[in-house]
Amino acid sequence: MLRIKSKYKIAKRLGAAVFEQTQTQKFALSEARSKAAKRPRGRGGSDYGRQLLEKQRVRFTYGLAERQLANYAKEAYTAADPSTTLHRLLEMRADSVVYRAGIASTRRAARQMVSHGHITVNGKRTTSPSYRLKKGDIVAVREGSRTSPLFAGLTEKEEGGRAIPQWITLDRGAMKAEIVGEPTYAAGETVLDYPVVFEFYSR
C-alpha cells in the first residue's frame, strides 16, 4: 500500500482532487491564499515537469506505487485506445470499485477494507486491493464484517452524497454492488490527463 506522510502538502502540489480529505472549502481557501502570496515565476515549467506532475497526480489519486502505475501504463499503451484502457484498469481495481460503489468513503478506506479481508468478490474473500474485476462481478461486504462500525451507515441512503457511476449498482440492504458495465474515459469529464502520463513513460 502506498504510504502517504502529508496529504495536504501533496495536494497543494498536485491539486485537491487527489485526496477526498482535501476537497473542502477550507483547503480551497488556504490554497487560494497560498497562490496569491507566491511571486510569479515567469513562463510555465518544462514538458518533463508537466508530465511528472500528471503522473504523480494519477499515482496518488489511486494510491499506487510507482511500479504499479508503470505496469498499468505499459499494458494500456498497446491498446487501441490507451487512455480509456488505462482508466478502466484503474477503476476496475477492487479498491476502486468499493470506493465508487459508496461502500467506503475514501479510496484509502476502501484499500484497507479489501486488504483486511472485509470484502468478497463473487462470494470469495479477497485481500488484494489490485484484484481486477470485470462486468458481472459482485462485490460485497463479508458476512462476518457486516456488524463492523466500518459499515454502520451503508444501509442508509445518503442525501447529497457521492454519486454512484452508472456502471455500478448498489444494494445497500444486502451490502453488495454489481458491476453492470464498464467505466468510460472522457478528457473533459475528469481532472486526470492520461495522454500526458503516456508522454512521461514514452520518454
> Does residue 180 have a pLDDT over 80?
yes
Q: What is the pTM of this model?
A: 0.77
The structural domains of the chain, with segments of one domain joined by +, span 7-31+46-89+192-201, 94-179
Give the pLDDT of residue 8. Answer: 54
The C-alpha atoms of residue 98 and residue 178 are separated, in whole angstroms, by 10
Distance CA 155, CA 146 (A): 10
- The CATH number corresponding to 94-179 among 3.30.470.20, 3.40.50.2000, 3.10.290.10, 3.40.50.970 equals 3.10.290.10
The share of the chain scoring above pLDDT 90, in percent, equals: 67
